[in-house]
Amino acid sequence: MPFDRMPEVTDPKAMRALAHPVRIALLEALTVHGQLTATEAGEIVGESPANASFHLRQLAKYGYVEEAEGGTGRRRPWKRKYLGMSFSEVHEDPETANAARELSRTMTQRYLARAERGLEENRSHPADWRNALGWNQMGLFLTAEELDQLNQEVIQLMLERFGERRIRTETTPEGAERVELLTFAYRV
């Protein structure tokens, strides 16, 4: 599975297909587990196998997932085509701009809700994790070009240092837990 290729989604139909909480949850489950059948994926995200199967087929229709090798019938596993994607809200076409905003809103709501839960649960973690987990904030005066470059450098740093750890493998160090790093940049 490619770790560095993050295709840009520009089709408004593909954006709208992804702007669904169950589909985002399914993509995340496939990221963590590599391959899953619809039954396994549904169990993880709290959906019936039939509903998970429907949403996986929709994700496949727009190129986000594909069938993995080795399955037959109801035991067909699915996998992500890419371990990431990017999209922009800047489009001249109103339909594409609206679809991008809808996708951005859906993903932001999911990530912020999960961040809030995670920060609340920090108190129950061992001291070493409580010290490592948390948040940082910094206000800066930057040009659009500088901010774009900073975003690209942060992404590149994470990919270079830990890109292969987006899924658990036999080389994942003992004691490693799945964490999520969010970066948001906005004008204030």
Angstrom distance (rounded) from CA 33 to CA 161? 21
Q: Is residue 148 part of a domain?
A: no
Structure tokens at 43: 């169990």
Query: 46 versus 72: which is more confidently predicted?
Result: 46
Beta bridge partners of 35: 79
Report pLDDT for 134: 84
User: Which residue, 88, 71, 91, is CA-closest to 79?
Assistant: 71
Q: Is residue 181 part of a domain?
A: no
pLDDT tens profile 54-113: 999 999 999 999 999 876 766 889 999 987 788 888 889 999 999 999 999 999 999 999
- Domain, as residue range, for 39: 1-135
Q: Is residue 176 part of a domain?
A: no
Do residues 29 and 41 make contact, with C-beta atoms less than 8 angstroms apart? yes
Do residues 71 and 37 make contact, with C-beta atoms less than 8 angstroms apart? yes
User: Which residue, 67, 26, 24, is CA-closest to 48?
Assistant: 26
Q: Is residue 129 part of a domain?
A: yes
Q: Is residue 97 part of a domain?
A: yes
Q: Is residue 63 part of a domain?
A: yes
Q: Is residue 110 part of a domain?
A: yes
Q: Is residue 42 part of a domain?
A: yes
Report pLDDT for 1: 42
Cα-Cα-Cα-Cα torsion 18, 183, 177, 69, nearest 10 degrees, comes to 30
pLDDT tens profile 161-186: 998 888 778 888 999 999 999 888 99
Do residues 87 and 15 make contact, with C-beta atoms less than 8 angstroms apart? yes
**What is the reported pTM?**
0.81
Domain CATH code at residue 67: 1.10.10.10
Report pLDDT for 123: 87
Q: How many domains does one find in the chain?
A: 1
Structure tokens at 20: 């669904």
